[in-house]
Chain A
Amino acid sequence: MTQLDFYTLLPVMTLTIWACVLLLVDLFILSERRGLTAILAVVGLLVTMGVSISQMGREATGFNQMIVLDGFSNFLNLLLLLTGLLGIAVAYGYNRRMGIERGEYYPIMLFSLAGMMLMAQASHLIMIFIALELLSIPLYVLAAFAYPRPESEEAGLKYFLLGSFSSGFVLYGIAMTFGATGSLAIPGIVAAIADGTANTSLLLIGAALILVGFGFKVAAAPFHMWTPDVYQGAPTSVTAFMAAGAKAAGFAALLRVFVVAFPTLSDQLTPIISVLAALTMILGNVIAIAQTDIKRMLAYSSIAQAGYMLMAFVAYGNPAVQAVSVASALFYMVAYTITSFGAWGVVIALEKAEGKGLAISDYAGMGKKYPFLAACMTVFMLSLTGLPPTLGLIGKLYLFRAAVEGGFITLAVIGVVTSLLSAFYYLRVVVNMYMKTGDPEVARETWLDFTIGATALLTVVLSVVPAGLFAWASQALFIALK
């Protein structure tokens, strides 16, 4: 082991050690001063962010090429740390209000984040699996965090059972890949495929199983069944974190494994992935129309967004458009993270104890009573639909462009049509807020308001000047591709 090994993994290690220490420190924080734990967790995230920023532009491999540090992992680490910060900001007041303020919340969240970051850096299938478990197990606990409430327990159990099931798929896929290539490290797999020693049919089965397992994690149809129930039952602060973080980490692993290790399988896999993408977009958007509960609606919307992200993924084996596809997927992840956190933030502001205040009709009259929140929610809904002047539009533009350049015009058309369809249910929220009368009651919490305002501002401002972010995403390359 050398210092370089530790340097490559420094952000994850910082965060893990911080989380362990925080777990112990929290035991000695008085229960009426629980907020301190959240503040300490934020400090830890900021320190880790500093470490990550200092690693910008560096490239290295460590631990016998199990861990890589490259532009891609650095980009995702920063995005995931932002997810963590937003996740704590929305949870801070909500947990207290809902009476689920326990100190473990924040360390568990940091553990999950460490798993997500490890996922972005892993370049070895076993490391990817460990990262998958490290990210999932804390999320199962968090989903059941509103402990005496039966919905939350049900969500936790459901997520646990289906999540373990999907982990089994990933593991089986890893075993098949190992059988086919004799290697678990991604460079070794690439080498085995290049010399022709790999067993192609076994490799194909392995890749397909890995795709299924991660399809569960990122909530792509037809593996999306758990999403609405879990998103609805889990405490909303957890849902917001899960929707953005787990999705980004799942796509990170998928992109790295498929783009780097399995480009030769693209002839067989591209049709499968394009069908998955189309199905996910159609199913998510169509079922969302029928929802009356805002959490369920946003859950189906998150399925639909996974479909759009899969679209970038379809052309992964075509070297001409590979770079632009990865960049647009990363860009869309940023757009989705920012927008969805804002939308969930508004949901959190309106939610009351016992799961009240979650129907879409509860938003009636928001425009008059809370013009600021209503305006922000409008921005988020426009962004999720993909209308100007928001980040969602720019993200979709890049995605559709990547799909068209890769020759998947039908898929791009399906994307556009389903986006149009989605306007129906996103704008229904806006209609409810401005055109119907009602008397909603909102909890004003400083950090929540700040998060909603900041994400709304970012959604609009970044859409006006997206070039810098896209250029950064374009430089986020895999180390092996250079």
Chain B
Amino acid sequence: MLNPWMFVGLFLIVGLLIPVAAIVLSALLAPRKPNPIKLSTYECGMETVGDSWVQFKAQYYVFALVFLIFDVETVFLFPWALALNALPFFAVVEGIVFILILIAGLSFAWRKGMLEWV
């Protein structure tokens, strides 16, 4: 037990055993009284009407992509803006270049008509 990695190994074994024990115990102890309603796939929600293989309009993925521009931008720009006074000149320019590249992406999407809902 002197090897510190032993704990990791023990942890792995115990971690695997606990869920296995839970599943085995419930399989042993649980009463089994099946009926058709219990065995049906959907246990909650509305019953489906018609075919469930329908086509969705996936236009929102473009919005998700454009959102990503702003999302990531904020993460990087907050610290940059807060430390603006203390940063060397190069880092300030770097931030501006970053913003310019993102603006290029946004204006590309804008001009392509991606920001309009059709």
Contacts and interface: CB of A to CB of B under 8 A. Distances in A.
Contacts of B90: 1
Interface in A9-28: 20, 23-24, 27
Contacts of A27: 107-108, 111-112
A20 B107 CA distance: 12
B105 to A, nearest CB: 9
Interface residues of B, number: 7
Interface string A252-266: 000000000000000
Nearest to B90: A1
B58 to A, nearest CB: 14
B101 interface: yes
A475 B52 CA distance: 64
Contacts of B14: none
A24 B104 CA distance: 7
A20 B111 contact: no
Contacts of A1: 90
B111 A23 contact: no
Nearest to B103: A24
Interface in B27-72: none
A150 to B, nearest CB: 16
A22 to B, nearest CB: 11
Interface string A135-177: 0000000000000000000000000000000000000000000
B-side binding surface: helix, strand, loop or mixed? Answer: helix
A20 B112 contact: no
Nearest to A1: B90
B12 to A, nearest CB: 20
Nearest to B110: A27
A24 B101 CA distance: 11
Contacts of A23: 104, 108
A249 to B, nearest CB: 23
A27 B108 CA distance: 7
A1 B111 CA distance: 35
A20 B104 CA distance: 7
Contacts of B108: 23-24, 27
Contacts of B112: 27
A282 to B, nearest CB: 43
Q: Which interface residue of B90, B107, B108, B111 has the most chain A CB atoms within 10 A?
A: B108
Nearest to A2: B90
A381 B111 CA distance: 45
Interface string B75-104: 000000000000000100000000001001
A37 to B, nearest CB: 13
Nearest to B108: A23
A82 B109 CA distance: 31
B1 to A, nearest CB: 25
B101 to A, nearest CB: 7
A23 B112 CA distance: 11
B116 to A, nearest CB: 15
Contacts of B107: 24, 27
B38 to A, nearest CB: 38
Interface string A225-258: 0000000000000000000000000000000000
A23 B90 CA distance: 26
A20 B102 CA distance: 10
A24 B107 CA distance: 8
Contacts of B101: 20
Nearest to B112: A27
Contacts of B111: 27
Interface in A285-321: none
Nearest to B94: A1
A296 to B, nearest CB: 32
A1 B94 CA distance: 11
Contacts of A20: 101, 104
A148 to B, nearest CB: 15
Contacts of B104: 20, 23-24
A1 B89 CA distance: 10
A23 B101 CA distance: 11
Nearest to B93: A1
B94 to A, nearest CB: 9
Nearest to A21: B104
A20 B111 CA distance: 15
A24 B108 CA distance: 6
Interface string A38-80: 0000000000000000000000000000000000000000000
A24 B109 CA distance: 10
B59 to A, nearest CB: 16
A23 B108 CA distance: 8
Contacts of A24: 104, 107-108
A350 to B, nearest CB: 34
A420 B104 CA distance: 52
A1 B93 CA distance: 12
A24 B90 CA distance: 26
A73 B97 CA distance: 26
The 10 closest A-B pairs by CB, nearest first: A27-B111, A1-B90, A20-B104, A24-B104, A23-B108, A24-B107, A20-B101, A24-B108, A27-B108, A23-B104
12 contacts: A1-B90, A20-B101, A20-B104, A23-B104, A23-B108, A24-B104, A24-B107, A24-B108, A27-B107, A27-B108, A27-B111, A27-B112
Interface of B: 90, 101, 104, 107-108, 111-112
Given A1-B90, A23-B104, A24-B107, 9 more contacts: A20-B101, A20-B104, A23-B108, A24-B104, A24-B108, A27-B107, A27-B108, A27-B111, A27-B112
